[in-house]
Amino acid sequence: MNRLMIFLDAIRDHLDSYQLPPAASVDVNAWSSPITVQLDVDGLAAVARALLVWSQTLEDISARLWRLVDGKWVHISITGRTPCGIPVLVFGVVRFEPSTFPDLPAGAKQDMPVYLLRGWSTPGEVAA
């Protein structure tokens, strides 16, 4: 079986095995990994909750922020591995708010602790 089929089977099985938040897109590519999932949720609290749900289904989790060059949007992502070892990156996009991301200049990427997602999952929480 080729690598693409292995990745396709792995993400299909993972999506079937868990009740995961809605995805806007899933990118499976045989030449590069990880499998990339873009969430179909809006707002910081919803993105944080969705990433927390995904984090409970993956191993070796890490989290990252990326403020786009235009400065208006921030990608919040987690990376990890499915139980069968396939790498996955899951992300959502939120509007940049200086009170939430005070030390994140336009174009910057920054690792973050996964536990911050818990604070953001409740509306009204701020400060990265």
Question: Which pTM does this prediction carry?
Answer: 0.91
* Dihedral sign from CA coordinates of 48, 26, 30, 16: positive
Confirm if 63 and 76 have CB atoms less than 8 A apart.
yes
In whole angstroms, how far apart are CA 11 and each of 27, 61, 80, 115?
10, 17, 13, 25
Domain range annotation of the chain: 3-116
Instruction: Determine the 3-state secondary structure of 49 from DSSP.
Output: helix
The burial of 14, by beta-carbon neighbours within 10 Å (0-12 exposed, 13-18 middle, 19 or more buried), is given as buried
> What are the pLDDT digits (tens) for 9-48?
989 999 999 999 999 999 998 777 889 999 999 999 999 9
pLDDT in tens, 78-105: 999 999 899 999 999 999 999 999 999 9
Looking at residue 115, the DSSP 8-state letter turns out to be: T
Within 10 angstroms of residue 18's Cβ, the number of other Cβ atoms is 12
Say what the pLDDT of residue 1 is: 59
Residue 127 has pLDDT above 70, yes or no: no
